[in-house]
Amino acid sequence: MTRLTDDDVKNISNTLEDVNQMLVRTAGMTTKQMACDAVSIVPESIDLDDYYVGVVPITSGMGVITRFSESVADICRALDMDAFVTSTYDVTGLAEALSKDPDIVFLADDYEFIAYNTRARKYSNNSFCTASGYVAVLNGAAKGLIGKTVLVVGAGRVGSRAAGLLLARGAKVGITDIDTAKAHAVAKENPGVKVIEDVGEAISSNDLILNASPAHIDSKYIREGAIISSPGVPHTFDGEAYAKATIIHDPLDIGVAVMAVQSASFSCPDKRKCRR
């Protein structure tokens, strides 16, 4: 699984408003509206400033990513939540967080990244929330997906979830992966999803793309006017790709904002009003 680097996250806290503006420009929605849309929450029905969030840095595996926890806390603060990062790590950090009685605790190792709602005793998962955020963004940028064809590039944890979410939004879904067995497994789990074996051919014949792959996409395959909603990291689109297509990407904000809103919704005081 792709792991963020110190470099990927170093500027996140300073560019949250840029991401917000980019989402307004490309998808017609603010970060909060995107996050609510991704998990079917009515934005006015949830008071995000009522939530207290703790973020615990985790040292296991490849260790702490510089500014990862601080960036997660800043993404929550930009949504009006109150957030803190623990001064200690791992189990000690979790105990420190819980001693402050937070509503939500974020923590990530090299395999899982979750937001645990301590009131509802339920957690949000980053792969699902990243997929649903980028599907919401694509839906906004394309002004709806009903009856439109969307190509999912990459049949990993985010791409496989995105395929199901796109079907649920009424899109016709194709999926491609250099490992065709993975693409076939997603198609089997999501009847209606079509496997396209040739990745280059698939990209050059689609206007709407959800790119959940770490592989580089050569700009020669990209169609003029395409919309590419792209959670995949590393993000390696070049200037020519950006000149041809609308490309929507940020390394952390979209997925974390959806996690924050979904996790908050688990303990929304009036769940019936909260859900769309």
Residues near ligand 2YJ, by CB under 6 A: 1-4, 57-58, 64-65, 68-69, 108-110, 113, 126-127, 130
Q: Of the two residues 68 and 266, which places its CB atom closer to ligand 2YJ in the complex?
A: 68
- Reading the block at residue 39, the tokens are 């998990």
- Give the nearest distance from C-beta 7 to ligand 2YJ in angstroms: 13
Contact 55, 260 (CB under 8 A): no
- Give the nearest distance from C-beta 62 to ligand 2YJ in angstroms: 7
- Give the nearest distance from C-beta 256 to ligand 2YJ in angstroms: 10
Q: Of the two residues 112 and 238, which places its CB atom closer to ligand 2YJ in the complex?
A: 112
Which contacts of 142-148 are long-range, i.e. CB under 8 A and separated by 24 or more positions?
A: 142/208, 142/227, 143/28, 145/169, 145/170, 145/171, 145/208, 146/170, 146/171, 147/171, 147/172, 148/172, 148/208
Apex 222 CA angle, 217 and 228, nearest 5: 80
- Strand order of the β-sheet with 172-176 is 194-195, 172-176, 149-153, 208-211, 227-229, 246-248
- Reading the block at residue 13, the tokens are 């806290």
- Give the nearest distance from C-beta 125 to ligand 2YJ in angstroms: 8
Q: Of the two residues 86 and 190, which places its CB atom closer to ligand 2YJ in the complex?
A: 86
166: left (phi over 0), alpha (psi -120 to 50) or beta: alpha
- Give the nearest distance from C-beta 258 to ligand 2YJ in angstroms: 11
- Give the nearest distance from C-beta 194 to ligand 2YJ in angstroms: 25
Q: Of the two residues 89 and 266, which places its CB atom closer to ligand 2YJ in the complex?
A: 89
Q: Of the two residues 130 and 160, which places its CB atom closer to ligand 2YJ in the complex?
A: 130
Q: Of the two residues 8 and 103, which places its CB atom closer to ligand 2YJ in the complex?
A: 8
